[in-house]
Amino acid sequence: MFKKTLVVLAILSALFSMMITTKAYDKTHIYYFYAEGCITCAAEDKYLIELEAKDPNIVIHKYEIAFDKENQALVKQLDEVLNIKIKSTPTLVIGRKTIVGFSKNSTESNIENSIEFFRKNNVRDVIGELLGFVAPGEGFDIDPTEGTIKLPFFGEVNAKTISLPLLAIVLGTLDGFNPCAMWVLLLLISMLFHLEQTWKKWFLGGLFLATTAVMYFMFMLTWLNITLLFGTITYIRLLIAAIALIGGVVNIRTYLKTKPGCEVIDDRKRKKISIRIKQIFAQPVLVLASIGVVVLAISVNLVELICSAGLPVIYTQVLSIQNLSGIQYILYLLLYLLFFMVDDIIIFVIAMKTAQLTGISTKYSRNAHLIGGILMIILGIMMIFRPEWLMLKF
Amino acid sequence: MRKIVIVSAVWCHACLTMRKRIKALKEKYPEWIWVDLDLDLDDDVVDPLKVGKLIPVFIIYENDVEVKRIAGEMSQDALESELNYV
């Protein structure tokens, strides 16, 4: 019933909008942003030439944005004036709708549907107005990011905003259960118990966790920027897909091969870290002890990055094609990070409150390997064959 | 006389998970001798035992002769049956 009411409302609003429309555009202007040397762009280029030849009412404006300074300034202007963000290539803009990436069939039909929607709903050509291709004030300024691209009240954005946080939570949690650096945290907490002042225990333990979080965040942010710049280049996408597939296989293998329990860390390495923590905590100057904790966290987590077998790399790749704002990207990274850190934080807080160490059963980390492995393989296959599905708009 | 030697480590999350289960079995079988060893702190005793790559390790002695050795995390029931099935 609710759905029917919404459909009726949608039809009514569409009819209403048609009634008050002043004039439809004679031509449909499409704005295409590409980069020299980008293979995906070359494929889209070919398709756009065909499209333009097929439909004489389509005008395609092409902008090279990797090297052309003028076009880079235009991209900046579009962001500042119209809030249209061009973050990677190829990106196609119809009205306010941006279509990032290109894959034969699916992107083609997405473009054609968007053109049809643009024409049917007399969508306002905001870029055309800015650049003087169309007269100002015509059409309706419909923003697809507000969930109104297909039908009012039924926006694609709903699927996107639900599935992206879900992906962040699932991948972050799975990554967090990877117990590679867990042993150092447990060793560190066990030694914290010997400190006399409570505040010092909280401070040094918290500093270790905070450094871990900052380091992981910086790594993910760097990787996100790399994928935003080069992620749509086919080779890079395929490389990340290969990481996903290899990582997936490694994870499933780990699940199958690992017996429940703790693998004994190499004697020398264990003793070295143990002595290092003892020295840090014996340090009477707090600043020096803090530096020691930070350095320890960085060196330990460098190993963790390799150990995570590519989950953050895959997550940032998926994130990079979502065409989000800078703050949204950061918030999604922080969401992943929160769930990545949650088990460490719980263990630390329980230990501090109860003066007892708690462990996480191996069955969770083993299951995380299995689920993570399967997810990575699925994402890897999607990156190769259906990258547009990763835009989480289905 | 049955003796159970348990080798674990403070940094081992699986060993920490097993603590409660072991405690329950200790209470159930007070007639057995339970010896807790730490891989790092008791290395002079643990090293000659050659516990291998997976902990926690449970070594079962019958009249001071080793009769069985099991390793890894397991449920309380599984551990109990392993310790009894010598």
Per-domain boundaries in chain A: 2-146, 159-391
CA–CA separation, A156 vs A130, rounded Å?
A: 26
Helix and strand numbers (H, E) in chain B are 3, 5
8 A C-beta contact, residue B73 and residue B56: yes
β pairing state of A91-94 and A97-100: antiparallel
CA atoms within 13 A on the CB side of A35: 23
Residue A86 to residue A307: CA distance in whole angstroms:
34
Q: Do A261 and B13 touch (CB under 8 A)?
A: no
The number of C-beta contacts closer than 8 angstroms across A and B is 78
As given in the structure block, the two tokens for residue B5 are: 């030697």
Give A223's Cβ-side CA count (13 Å radius).
Answer: 21
Q: How many CA atoms lie within 13 A of A199 on its CB side?
A: 1
Chain A nearest-CA distance from B23, in A, is 14
What was the pLDDT predicted at A333? Answer: 94
The per-residue pLDDT for A15 is 40
| Distance of residue B86 Cα from the nearest chain A Cα, in angstroms | 22
Q: Show residues of chain B in contact with A362, CB under 8 Å.
A: 13-14, 17, 72-73
Count, in order, helices (H) and strands (E) of chain A. Answer: 14, 5
Three-state SS for A60? strand
Cα–Cα dist A271/B83, whole Å: 31
pLDDT tens, per residue, chain A with 394 residues:
444 444 444 443 444 343 333 356 778 999 999 988 888 888 899 999 999 899 888 999 999 998 899 999 999 988 888 888 888 889 999 888 888 888 877 788 788 878 877 776 677 888 988 888 888 767 666 655 543 334 333 334 344 455 788 888 888 888 887 767 778 888 888 888 888 888 988 999 999 999 999 998 998 998 888 888 776 677 777 888 888 899 889 889 988 888 888 888 787 888 888 888 888 888 888 888 899 999 988 888 787 677 765 788 888 888 887 767 788 889 999 999 999 999 889 989 998 888 778 777 778 878 888 888 888 888 888 878 776 666 654 3
| CATH classification for the domain delimited by B2-84, as one of 3.10.180.10, 3.40.50.2300, 3.30.70.890, 3.40.30.10 | 3.40.30.10
Cβ atoms of B3 and B60 within 8 Å: the answer is yes
Q: What is the CATH number of domain A2-146?
A: 3.40.30.10
- Residues of chain A found within 8 Å of residue B9, distances taken between Cβ atoms: 262, 264
ipTM: 0.85
pLDDT digits (tens, 9 = 90+) for B44-70: 898 899 888 899 999 999 988 999 999
- pLDDT, average across residues B15-38: 93
Q: What is the pTM of this model?
A: 0.62
Closest partner CB to A187 (pick from B11, B54, B73):
B11
Question: Which candidate in A187, A188, A262 is best for mutational testing of the B interface (most B CBs within 10 A)?
Answer: A262
Structure tokens at A154: 């039924």
Which residue in the block uniquely carries the two structure tokens 């072991």? B22
- Contact residues, chain B, for A361 at CB < 8 Å: 13-14, 17, 73
Rounded to an integer, what distance in angstroms lies between the CA atom of residue A333 and that of residue A341? 12
Q: What letter would DSSP give residue A391?
A: G
Least CB-CB distance to A261: which of B10, B39, B54?
A: B54
